Structure formats: C-alpha cells, structure tokens
Amino acid sequence: MRMIRSRRGAVHTLEAFLAAVIIFTTLLYSTSIPRERDGDEERPLEALGMEVLLRLDGNGTLGRLVEERSWDRLERCLRAALPAGVSFNLTVLDEQGAPVNDRLISNGGLIGRTVASVEYLLAVEADGCPLYRLRLQLGG
C-alpha cells in the first residue's frame, strides 16, 4: 500500500512539474511574438491630415466643394477619407482670415489623447483664383 502511495506522489509531482514547464514555455513564447499594430496608429496625425487634404485637392474635389460652399459633402468626404478612430474639425478661412464656412464641419469634436492641427493653402480654379486657408484639427 505504501508503494502505491509513493508512486502516486511521484506521478503528481511529475504532473505539476510538466504543467509548470508548459506554462513557463507558453508565457516565454507569447512575450516574444510581435504584436500587430494598425498602420494608422503609428502615423502621426499631422501626416494623416495632410495626406487626406492632398488627396482631396489632387483630384479637384476639395476646391470644388469649398467654392460651392458644400459643407455637408465636404464633411462626408472627410469622414470617408479618415480612419474611424480619428475625430476632426475643419475651418475654411478666406484670404483675410475670416471663417467662410457658416456651419461646423466636424464628426463630433476632437476626441482622443492627442490633438494635431494642419494648415493647408488651397487655390481654387475659379474667377479671380481665390485662396483659402484650411485648418484641419485632428484627434486620435
């Protein structure tokens, strides 16, 4: 009877040792795996904002929407172009620095740990070639 108990004790000790080795190996392996990160998280908000404005201006959309004073469509374009976790406010200023947009162009205000501001000079192909300064504030 004594021999059976001592064998059981040895088996339980061996089980506990193997379980500890498996847990330790798993923890060691899981800390060495690189975590995937979203590419937009690593990109600074200023670069993201400038890229979006350049893209919208490059195909003529930005100038057309500002000249038409189509603030709702401009807001929708920004919502579509920016990642879901980035909040924004856009102010369009004329050559004298007075706000042109008569309504808020935003997706709900600036939310997030970091806030960045991008200034963009926009020349519109229209009569007199008006200049606008766009101030895009981003939060993320």
**Where exactly are the structural domains of the chain?**
1-33, 40-139
pLDDT, one tens digit per residue, over 66-75 is 999 999 999 9
- Look up the pTM and report it: 0.66
Contact status, residue 108 vs residue 140, Cβ threshold 8 Å: no
- Tell me how far apart the alpha carbons of residues 99 and 104 are, in angstroms, rounded to a whole number: 11
The overall longest dimension of the chain from CA atoms, in Å, is: 105
Q: Provide the β-strand partners of residue 106.
A: 89
The percent of residues in the chain predicted with pLDDT above 90, rounded, is 48
Contact status, residue 124 vs residue 63, Cβ threshold 8 Å: yes
